[in-house]
Amino acid sequence: MNKQKLLAIVGPTASGKTSLSILLAKRLGGEILSCDSMQIYRGMDIGTAKPTEQEKAGVPHHLLDLADADTPFSCAEYVKAASSVIDELSAKGSLPVLCGGTGLYLDALLRGGGFEETDTDPALREELFAFAAQHGNHALHERLAAIDPESAAAIHENNVKRVVRALEIHHTSGITKSEADRRSRIPESPYRAAVIGLYYPDRTLLYGRIGLRVEFRAAELQKRALSIPQWPCDPALRLCPRFCFQSAPDIRSR
């Protein structure tokens, strides 16, 4: 099997993935594919640390700004879009360089295969999120552990979004998420991938970098918010419910 070559740069927030991926793409004749579940949304540039045109340094970037912030975008859709870009780059002799911290996306892409079709149930999702808010993340996670221990062991209880999705899969399809994942896998990946993981033995150094980023992004976000009349509602707000602005006047009064 003639596998397509690709490079992936992964690591925690503020670890230097973007700068390293751009450096390597320049040296290796590559183009960058975002592997970030939030950078796919238009208008979410600051909070997601989406690279600016200056930071891109002339290196083509793909899989940014694919959807509006109020439009659901699944892992399956990401894999389909990424596979298409990889095919195009490989055909013209460019190295695909994936960069991002969404491990679910990278794992789904590298393992290959299709996705077991599962329906969605928006009403159930809201019910489960409300249950977690009222009874706690641990209680919701226990519901998943009772029906799908394998998925429960792989998903942290604080990752409420993924816990809810696993419960939703079981509710709508009658099979567990772990079983759906098994059905979607193929024996061998279609890619020959080199994955570079950035690691900080001294966690205080990483925490310092994260702190600096938060301060900078918060200042940029406030500046942007003051310049617009209304603040858009987007999926990221579910990840940080206490950090929710309704309008620019609200921010001015705080």
Question: What's the CATH code of the domain at 97?
Answer: 3.40.50.300
Query: CA-CA distance, 214 to 216, in Å (whole number)?
Result: 5
| Residue at 2 is within a domain | yes
Residue 225 has pLDDT above 80, yes or no: no
Identify the pLDDT of residue 135.
97
- Greater confidence (138 vs 49) lies with 138
Asked if 23 and 96 sit in the same domain, the reply is yes
Residue 224 has pLDDT above 50, yes or no: yes
Do the bridges between strand 95-99 and strand 30-34 make them parallel or antiparallel, or are there none, so unpaired? parallel
The set of residues, in sequence order, having a beta carbon less than 8 Å from that of 252 and lying 6+ positions away, is 226
| Residue at 172 is within a domain | yes
Asked if 90 and 128 sit in the same domain, the reply is no
Identify the pLDDT of residue 32.
98
Identify the pLDDT of residue 72.
86
Asked if 171 and 224 sit in the same domain, the reply is no
Residue 161 has pLDDT above 50, yes or no: yes
Range of the domain at 146: 122-182
The set of residues, in sequence order, having a beta carbon less than 8 Å from that of 101 and lying 6+ positions away, is 10, 11, 12, 13, 17, 35, 36
Residue 220 has pLDDT above 60, yes or no: yes
pLDDT tens, residue by residue, 67-111: 998 898 988 899 999 999 999 999 999 999 999 999 989 998 998
Instruction: Please say which residue of 157, 182, 207 terminates a domain.
Output: 182
Instruction: Please say which residue of 147, 162, 182 terminates a domain.
Output: 182
Identify the pLDDT of residue 117.
60
Do the bridges between strand 30-34 and strand 191-197 make them parallel or antiparallel, or are there none, so unpaired? unpaired
Question: What's the CATH code of the domain at 178?
Answer: 1.10.20.140
| Residue at 254 is within a domain | no
Asked if 105 and 10 sit in the same domain, the reply is yes
Q: Which amino acid is at 157?
A: E
Query: CA-CA distance, 144 to 48, in Å (whole number)?
Result: 29
Neighbouring CB atoms inside 10 A of 185's CB total 14
| Residue at 253 is within a domain | no
- 190: DSSP letter: S
Identify the pLDDT of residue 172.
93
Identify the pLDDT of residue 223.
78
pLDDT over 70 percentage in the chain: 85
Asked if 12 and 104 sit in the same domain, the reply is yes
Neighbouring CB atoms inside 10 A of 218's CB total 13
Q: How many structural domains compose the chain?
A: 2
Residue 244 has pLDDT above 90, yes or no: no
pLDDT tens, residue by residue, 25-51: 999 999 999 999 999 999 888 878 899
Asked if 139 and 108 sit in the same domain, the reply is no
| Residue at 62 is within a domain | yes
| Residue at 29 is within a domain | yes
Residue 52 has pLDDT above 50, yes or no: yes
Residue 234 has pLDDT above 80, yes or no: no
For 20-84, give the DSSP string.
Answer: HHHHHHHHHTEEEEE--TTTTBTT-TTTTTPPPHHHHTT--EES-S-B-TTS---HHHHHHHHHH
pLDDT band at 182 (very low <50, low <70, confident <90, very high): confident
Asked if 133 and 38 sit in the same domain, the reply is no
Enclosing H/E stretch for 99 = strand 95-99
